[in-house]
Amino acid sequence: MRTEPLDIKFTQSFPKNFISNVIYFVLHIAIGLMLVPFFLDTLGTAAYGLIPLATSITSYVTLIIDSLNTSISRFLTIDLQRADLKRANETFNTALFGTLGVILLLIPIALAAAWYAPVFFNIGAQSTTDVFLLFALIFGSVLIRAWSSNFMVILFAYNRLDLRNYVNCVNLFTQLILVVILFLYLGPSLVLVGLSYVGAAVITLVIAFILSKRTCPSLKISPESFVRSRLQEIGGMSTWVIINSVGLLLNTQVALIIVNKLFGEVAGTEYSLAAVWSTLLISIAALVTNLFTPMTYSYFAKQDRKGLIHFTSMTIKIMGLSMALPIALVCIFSPQLLTIWVGAEFAHLSPLIWICVAPVILKIMVSCISPITVAYNRVRGLVFLTLPMGFLNIILALLLPYYFDIGMYGVALAGLISLLLRYGVINPLFIASIVQIPIFTYLNKMMYGIGGMLVLSLVGLAFVSVVTISTLPMLILAGAGIAAAYLLFVLNFVLQPEEREMIRSCLPKVCQRRIPSWVL
């Protein structure tokens, strides 16, 4: 069965997707920043450290599901791009029931991991039962959300990323409301934190299902459309995506575990306060870079290699220059941010924030072109190049703290080294070879973001050396001043007219009418 080919209409869809990204961005930051001091005040420093630890462990539990969804998104988008509705239904139902089977297999593994969590980790004076239930409930919420992501894939294929963002907003807001209400009426407890995650996941599942049916009523839940050969095709790609993701997790999430085991739960809390900024910035950037993924699949489905190269080259340059600003500001004003956020006693963690946050500019720029490996089904080749970086990170994280006697800073430096090799060298060179262009093409484009980050850092450090920033209004004013000067310079002297026009065309029409031509 065939219908009209799906037209993603990138520039027409971008404004509403962008607006939803801004809404999610604000909500994500506000809730994330508010919950940390709330948990620190109600649960205490040691108990709070277990929450980011539990959520980081879920990355391993959902590794298989996320990898399946990456493959599903690729196949379903291409099916709809080519107007093959029968094959699209087979992809959707094969993924839906295949994912359910994987989740059922993961349940006992998740429960076992939760059972041994109080034994494996330093939990201080916390109840082992409470810690077990915290991990079990958070694992359960992630599995529920993993199955609901099958319906979110439909929204992705139709480039309705605005609806995906609103679903995620509901999840965040529901978590906040539930945890505050439960704490007020039943008292602070790690178990109630887990319950808030589960409640939010259930509500998110219902909303995702309703929106997916409205977006594409032609895709119907039907066990008869489950095709074993299709599962093997999706699973084959997913296997290599999983292995690649393992290497990524060995580069990132493992740091919290190592710090907790080597230096205790208090050090784990301090490390999480620094690491949360890098995670937050990557998540924020993903709200934009994820908008590029459907277009990457679309160019591939249409066999438009020239368009793909041109599009991805521009996105690397624009995203690098854009994200250099918030990354640099977080680093420059890290002592002030920590003082205002969680207290002056944590301001000494500023160097740790520099180590954790500054290099994420590389990861963000590479994320603009990462979908190419999935579109061309070349994840396997990337795995053999990047997986060793994960093991290198673990080895260095265990050796550097003691060899240089620098404690958890050694763990952070290990992550810095492996990240530079992975995203600063291997990924951009390999992806360039996939689309058969000079291997330094993408790396050269990344120099814009790196240069912007360096210039902002030097200017910012010189600024704070002569101006004392001690209050939130002063911090906002200083940051706004640096941002305005930087953006005006980039828009008028760094970006090409075509790149400026692309940015302008993607903005809502009301913004296009009001922004002067000399600005953009």
Of the residues 224, 242, 260, which one is the last residue of a structural domain?
242
- Quick one: pLDDT at residue 441? 95
* Same domain flag for 294 and 331: yes
Same domain, 372 and 340: yes
Tell me the per-residue pLDDT of 382-397, one tens digit each, with 9 for 90 and over: 888 888 888 898 999 9
Q: What average pLDDT does range 198-225 have in this prediction?
A: 90
Nearest-Å Rg of the Cα atoms of the chain is: 23
3-state DSSP assignment of residue 84: strand
For the purposes of burial, counting CB atoms within 10 Å of the CB of 22, is it exposed (0-12), middle (13-18) or buried (19 or more)? exposed
Reported as a pLDDT band with limits 50, 70 and 90, residue 363 is: very high
Residues 271-289: tens digit of each pLDDT: 888 888 998 898 888 878 8
Q: Is residue 370 part of a domain?
A: yes
Are 159 and 82 a contacting pair, CB within 8 Å?
Answer: no
pTM across the whole model: 0.76
Sequence-distant (≥ 6) Cβ neighbours of residue 134 within 8 angstroms: 50, 51, 54, 190, 191, 193, 194
Residue 400 confidence (pLDDT) above 90: yes
Which among 18, 502, 5 is positioned nearest to 288, based on CA atoms? Answer: 18
Where is pLDDT greater, at 171 or 235? Answer: 171
Last residue of a domain, one of 222, 242, 262: 242
Distance CA 203, CA 226 (A): 26
Cβ neighbours of residue 345 under 8 Å, at least 6 residues apart? none
Q: How far apart are CA 257 and CA 324, in angstroms?
A: 29
The per-residue pLDDT for 47 is 76
Annotate 48-76 with DSSP letters as a single string. Answer: HTHHHHHHHHHHHHTHHHHHHHHHHHHHH
Per DSSP, the three-state class of 512 is helix
The position carrying tokens 């094959």 is 87
Residue 64: the pLDDT is 67
Of 211, 242, 273, the position where a domain reaches its end is 242
Same domain, 213 and 259: no
Q: Do 300 and 230 share a structural domain?
A: no
Would you list the DSSP string of 267-335?
A: HHHHHHHHHHHHHHHHHHHHHHHTTHHHHHHHHHHTT-HHHHHHHHHHHHHHHHHHHHHHHHHHHHTHH
Work out the average pLDDT over 233-242.
81
pLDDT band at 60 (very low <50, low <70, confident <90, very high): low
Does 517 fall in a domain? Answer: no
- 131 and 97 in a common domain: yes
Structural domain includes residue 519: no
Match 């080895």 to its residue by tokens: 395
Residue 514 included in any domain = no
Q: Which domain holds residue 222?
A: 1-242
Number of H helices, E strands in the chain: 24, 0
Please report whether residue 263 resides in a domain.
Answer: yes
User: What's the pLDDT score for residue 68?
Assistant: 73
Residues 335 and 228 in one domain: no
Residue with token string 């484009």: 445
Q: Could you give the number of structural domains in the chain?
A: 2
Q: Are residues 182 and 315 in the same domain?
A: no
The answer to the question of residue 515 being in a domain is no
Q: Tens digit of pLDDT for each residue in 117-163?
A: 888 777 776 778 888 888 899 889 988 988 888 898 888 888 888 89
Q: What is the mean pLDDT of residues 227-238?
A: 82
- Bridge partners (DSSP) of residue 58 are none
Tell me the pLDDT of the chain averaged across its residues: 85
Q: Which tokens hold the place of 120? A: 């494996």
Q: Do residue 150 and residue 168 come from a single domain?
A: yes
3-state secondary structure of 2: strand
1 — pLDDT class (breaks 50, 70, 90)? very low
Mapped onto helix, strand or coil, the DSSP state of residue 219 is coil
The answer to whether residue 404 is domain-embedded is yes
Shared-domain flag, residues 22 and 142: yes
* pLDDT higher than 90, residue 40: no
Tokens of 474: 């002063």
Q: What percent of the chain has pLDDT over 70?
A: 93
Q: What is the pLDDT of residues 319-349, one digit of tens each?
A: 999 999 999 999 999 999 999 888 888 899 9
Q: Give which of 446, 427, 429, 425 is closest to 437, Cα–Cα.
A: 429
Of the listed ranges 1-5, 203-207, 500-504, the least confidently predicted one is: 1-5
Q: What is the pLDDT of residue 301?
A: 81
DSSP output for 253-277:
THHHHHHHHHH-HHHHHHHHHHHHH
Q: What is the rounded average pLDDT of the residues 481-496?
A: 91
Task: Examine the domain organization and report whether 324 and 444 are in the same domain.
Answer: yes
| 178 shares its domain with 280 | no
pLDDT at 106: 84
Task: Give yes or no for a contact between 464 and 332, defined as CB atoms under 8 angstroms apart.
Answer: yes
The residue type found at 400 is L
CB 257 within 8 A of CB 53: yes
Residue 135 lies in a domain: yes
Under 8 Å between Cβ of 431 and 370: yes
Question: Are 213 and 281 in a shared domain?
Answer: no
Residue 357 pLDDT greater than 70, yes or no: yes
In this prediction, residue 390 carries a pLDDT of 84
Collapsed DSSP state (helix, strand, coil) of residue 206? helix
More confident residue, 489 or 28: 489
Q: Does residue 294 surpass a pLDDT of 90? A: no
Provide, for the chain, the percentages of residues in helix, strand and coil under a 3-state DSSP scheme, each rounded to the nearest 5: 85, 0, 15
